[in-house]
Amino acid sequence: MSGHTVRQRQQTATRRPITSATFLAAGLIAASGCLFATPASAQLWASQTPLTSMVDVDGHRVRIRTAAPHPRRLPGQPLVVLEAGFGSTVNSWGPFIGQVAAVAPVLAYDRAGLGESEWDGQTPTFDHITGRLRRLLAEVGAEPPFVLVGHSFGGGLVRFF
């Protein structure tokens, strides 16, 4: 036995996922080795402080939240795409967006019918959701590479992507 109480171990365990996820995302991004700036959707990536905006995808408004360490995405630098859990919105990512934005551009969004995004009237199958995400990324001018981070249900979506 380590001398920690059960409560201390539970508190430590609940802190680890955010710290571990931040470390993992930062490590993957740092390993990409990007050095030179190129034109990108500068207004979306203009601030490390998360910016919220609405984007039209297939005739329906989608709420996105973006942030980045630099006004322009660097060549080869991955865009971190956050996919929330079932029924969750961009708000579920809280300060994590800003933490990731310290090292790489990040985009989170509300799926159709969630948060402030409009319902598109389609059955939310994995194929439909990931297809819509691809069109959203194209609409904002984001090109690969992407590092997709999914929480819970979002984990299945990023694997399907």
**CA 74 to each of CA 26, 30, 35, 78, 107: distance values in angstroms, whole numbers, following the listed order:** 15, 12, 6, 8, 15
pLDDT at position 70 is: 80
2 or 57: whose pLDDT is higher? 57
pLDDT band at 101 (very low <50, low <70, confident <90, very high): very high
pLDDT at position 3 is: 54
pLDDT band at 35 (very low <50, low <70, confident <90, very high): very low
**102: its two tokens:** 């310290």
Is the pTM above the cut of 0.75? no
pLDDT at position 9 is: 44
146-150 and 79-83: which strand pairing?
parallel
| pLDDT value at 42 more than 70 | no
pLDDT in tens, 69-83: 887 888 889 999 999
pLDDT at position 63 is: 97
The mean per-residue pLDDT over the stretch 153-160 comes to 91
pLDDT at position 45 is: 56
Q: Which amino acid is located at 56 in the chain?
A: D
Mean pLDDT in the chain? 79
**14: its two tokens:** 């609940």
